Amino acid sequence: MIVSFTLVRKREGFTDEAFFARWTAHTEAFDLKDHPYITKNRLMMIQGDTPYVGIAENHWPDMESLAKTAEFYETTDAGKAHWADLLTFMDIDNSPTVIVTHEADVSATRTAITSLAG
């Protein structure tokens, strides 16, 4: 499994509420259709001393499916339409995506360390 997080910036002119509604609608209309292999697609609004307003968490079965997504955006009409819709509300160029490589679940009873990306 591959886990990615995108730190999301909104375009100017959107309230947080309007942005979240638009982001959710986009995800329902585009991501569920265009990325059926994503097993988790969680959208979270955040607050604090940060330029980001949200975090998107995605779970992918493998690196190949993640690579196919990048290719989809670049080489297909549907991918270009998907990207164009993102640009209407999200500052995608300043919304970095990172891949989780290791995680540690720490509790009083045990710690489980997992390597994810590979």
Residue 115 pLDDT > 70? yes
Query: Global pTM?
Result: 0.88
Tell me which of 16 and 66 has the higher pLDDT. 16
88: phi then psi, degrees, rounded to nearest 5: -75, -20
**Residue-level pLDDT at 42:** 96
**Residue-level pLDDT at 118:** 60
**Residue-level pLDDT at 33:** 87
Question: How is 28-97 classified by DSSP, letter by letter?
Answer: IIIIHHH-TT-SEEEEEE--SSSS--EEEEEEES-HHHHHHHHHHHHH-HHHHHHHHHHHTTB-GGG--E
Q: What mean pLDDT do residues 54-68 have?
A: 92
Q: What percent of the chain has pLDDT over 70?
A: 99
Residue-number span of the structural domain to which 27 is assigned = 2-115
Q: Check which CATH number belongs to the domain holding 52 and give it.
A: 3.30.70.100
Number of structural domains, the chain?
1
